[in-house]
Amino acid sequence: MIKTMSKVNFNSKAFTYADNALVQKSAFEVLLNLLSIQPEEDVLDIGCGPGHITKKIAQITTGTVQGIDVSQGMIEQAVSSSKELPNLKYSVMDAESFELNTKYDVIVCNSCFQWFQKPEQVLMRCFNVLKEGGRIGVQAPATQSYCPNFISAIEKIRMHPYTREVFSHFKSPWLFFDSKEEYERLFMNYGFDIIYSELREESNLFSVEQAYKIYQSGAENGYLNQSFYTVTLTDDYISVFRKLVKEAIKEQADSSGMVNLKFERIYLIAKKQ
């Protein structure tokens, strides 16, 4: 059975995520511009990770900024790097079951919506902690073709004689809709008005090493997570899996050694009715 977000373990990524999450950070800049956070607004950052983005938000506003994440390791890293900001605090909480007494002007959900197995629970809780007229901003990988580069690499896993049997027991943990209208309907069903939504194809050139680190910062948390297999993963399987993915990404490089990494991504801003 597919586990909920609370079962996804990001602790091992806590010290490397901020450096490797290159596309997540660039996408956040787009989301931040769309949200236009004002100088005194209170902000909740859901799935804040090691806090590198939450910290930036706390430098924009003098209001309360709260970061929550399911990973204890991520929160410990966030706390240790943000002690100088008095308006910023962090808590270990699951987005599908969090409870907060504070009301917020803005909720940020950056590169984590795809992990929610119960998005309805998340949106109900977000609605409850938003002030009247408050807004929520989401950016996340979208569609079943969320990253053609990674999907192509995973085909190598699916076909390779060493990995194909174990990988046949993998069940995807991700929530991907194939149109912006499906995302819009989900939010409208839980009391939100859509201010803006766009499904974008984004592409950037990265070295093979950078592209592989981007894969590790996100997709690998699903593809090599014991929670999403019905058989036990061995160290050998994990090692071969990583080797094959890196080889596949290297095969995608052009003559100058660069990989054109493509993502389908949803950007959505909604307002509490």
Angle ∠(87,91,95) on CA atoms, nearest 5: 115
For the chain, what is the mean pLDDT? 92
Place 24 in a pLDDT band, splitting at 50, 70 and 90: confident
Comparing CA positions, the residue from 71, 95, 121, 67 lying closest to residue 225 is 71
The correct answer on CATH 3.40.50.150 for the domain covering 5-272 is: yes
This prediction's pTM? 0.90
Asked whether the beta carbons of 172 and 223 are under 8 A apart, the reply is: no
Query: What pLDDT, on the 0 to 100 scale, is given for residue 273?
Result: 84
Across the range 18-33, mean pLDDT stands at 77
Comparing CA positions, the residue from 241, 244, 248 lying closest to residue 166 is 241
d(CA 103, CA 100): 8
Comparing CA positions, the residue from 166, 190, 176 lying closest to residue 244 is 166
More confident residue, 29 or 16: 29
Across the range 126-150, mean pLDDT stands at 98
7: pLDDT strictly greater than 50: no
Residue 26: alpha-carbon gap to chain centroid: 13
d(CA 114, CA 262): 17
Within 8 A by CB and 6+ apart from 1, the residues are none
Could you tell me the strand order of the sheet in which 43-46 lies?
Answer: 88-92, 65-69, 43-46, 104-110, 130-141, 258-272, 192-207
Tokens standing for 197?
A: 């939504």
Query: What pLDDT, on the 0 to 100 scale, is given for residue 26?
Result: 84
Angle between helices 148-159 and 235-251 (to 10 degrees): 130
Comparing CA positions, the residue from 263, 248, 232 lying closest to residue 139 is 263
58-74 tens-digit pLDDT = 999 999 999 999 999 99
- Which residues on neighbouring strands pair with residue 204, listed in sequence order? 261
109: pLDDT strictly greater than 50: yes
- Which residues on neighbouring strands pair with residue 135, listed in sequence order? 106, 271
CB atoms inside a 10 Å sphere around CB 65: 30
Complete DSSP assignment for 86-102: TTEEEEE--TTT---S-
Place 1 in a pLDDT band, splitting at 50, 70 and 90: very low
Residue boundaries of the structural domains of the chain:
5-272
Report residue 163: phi and psi, to 5°: -105, -20
Angle ∠(47,51,57) on CA atoms, nearest 5: 95
